[in-house]
Amino acid sequence: MSTLTNLELPAKVVICEVAPRDGFQAENEWIPTEDKIKIIKKLAGTGIQSMEITSFVHPKAIPQLRDAEEVVRQSQDLAGIAFRALVPNVKGAQRAIDVGIKKLKLMLSATDSHSISNANCLTEEAMNGFNPIFELAAKHGVKVGGSISVAFGCPYEGKVPLERLAHIVERYINLGIEEISLADSTGMANPRQVYETLGALKANFPTMTFSMHLHNTRGMALANAFAALEHGITHFDSSIAGLGGCPYAPGATGNIASEDLVHAFSEMGIETGINLEELIKTAKYVKQVIGHDGGSYMLQAGPCSQLHAKPKIQEKLG
Ligand code: ZN
């Protein structure tokens, strides 16, 4: 047998739990604030170090997150967790800062069509509106991270040209951004595309920290995460029980499930700092509270380590 070749992968990654924002906002049925807090507290008990806790959007735009302030207030005492909140504009940034959020994540679409449907303006116009958010954040010593929605594929425009992504990254760099979340918001990315795109972006912007926000709409999220790992990406978003959705594919699988991602990483010997057993228990709890999951392999099959009783050889030989 020939010798095994070692694969160079990061030894450790950071996972940001996004169910309280991306997952909850996809639910039509109102989730009571106290249930949201119970879920957040259970998640905090799994060893998760980073969480996107809510989005400070207009309550009429996403009624499910109208309790953003209350959710942040009741979660603040959870030790050891870095919270971030999504903000669409300066008003949202002010609300987030007022309630004590220390890290903001900006919303931006890669394509004009998606930007118009999401933010009612072109991508460039949305970027121009970021300046006051930066001024406000700087005044309060609050960090700001960027994001690019539909970075790998847009439900209106299809594939996003690399030049377009590079232009957006450049604009973010000019604003002083050091971290950008690349979102496959509607699950259109494939592993080869992720690998090639990250290769180009990392070569052109070597100091930028890119993180991956993957949806499993078409079953490619784990493969895409692996393609990113091969490029040394160490920051990933995921959502407990796979909550989260895609308005363009009703009923489709949501974000990559946290328990599936942690399980896959753990099987590959990549440290996440998260207790998988606790995470699966939490996913079960979330499914029970919300009434469904968003496509979770762990909830269906359990982890590889859960071995079954061996067949009785003696009886068979009998
Ligand atoms: Zn998402």
CATH number, domain 11-301, options 3.90.1150.10, 3.20.20.70, 3.40.140.10, 3.90.220.20: 3.20.20.70
CB–CB of 240/43 below 8 Å? yes
Exactly one of 16, 121, 154, 246 is catalytic; name it: 246
Spell out a b/e string for 198-216, using b for 16 or more CB atoms within 10 Å of the CB, else e.
beebeeebeebebbbbbbb
Provide the strand spans (E) within 165-299.
Answer: 179-184, 209-214, 235-238
| Distance (Å) from CA 318 to ligand 1 centroid | 56
Q: What is the pLDDT of residue 312?
A: 83
Phi-psi map region of 122: left, alpha, beta (phi>0 left; psi -120 to 50 alpha): beta
Adjacent-strand bridge partners of 213: 183, 237
CA atoms within 13 A on the CB side of 318: 4
Going from the C-alpha of 154 to that of each of 73, 180, 217, 260, the distances in angstroms are 35, 18, 13, 25
Spell out a b/e string for 81-111, using b for 16 or more CB atoms within 10 Å of the CB, else e.
bebbbbbbbbebbbbbbebebebbbbbbbbb
- Helical ranges in 46-190 per DSSP H: 68-75, 90-98, 112-119, 123-128, 131-140, 162-175
Q: What is the pLDDT of residue 4?
A: 76
Phi and psi, residue 153, nearest 5°? 175, 135
Residue 39: its H or E element: helix 33-44
First-to-last CA distance in the chain? Answer: 36
Q: What is the pLDDT of residue 249?
A: 76
| Distance (Å) from CA 4 to ligand 1 centroid | 37
Q: Is 304 a catalytic residue?
A: no
Q: Where are the domains of the chain?
A: 11-301
| Distance (Å) from CA 1 to ligand 1 centroid | 44
Q: What is the pLDDT of residue 317?
A: 65
Paired sense of beta strands 82-87 and 50-55, if any: parallel
| Distance (Å) from CA 19 to ligand 1 centroid | 9
| Distance (Å) from CA 274 to ligand 1 centroid | 21
Tens-digit pLDDT string for the chain (318 aa): 667 788 899 999 999 999 999 999 999 999 999 999 999 999 999 999 999 999 999 999 999 999 999 999 999 889 889 999 999 999 999 999 999 999 999 999 999 999 999 889 999 999 999 999 999 999 999 999 999 999 999 999 999 999 999 999 999 999 999 999 999 999 999 999 999 999 999 999 999 999 999 999 999 999 999 999 999 999 999 999 999 987 777 778 899 999 999 999 999 999 999 999 999 999 999 999 999 999 999 999 999 999 989 888 766 665
For the record, the structure tokens of 236 come out as 């990933």
Burial of 317 from C-beta contacts in 10 A (0-12 / 13-18 / 19+): exposed
| Distance (Å) from CA 219 to ligand 1 centroid | 15
| Distance (Å) from CA 97 to ligand 1 centroid | 22
| Distance (Å) from CA 26 to ligand 1 centroid | 10
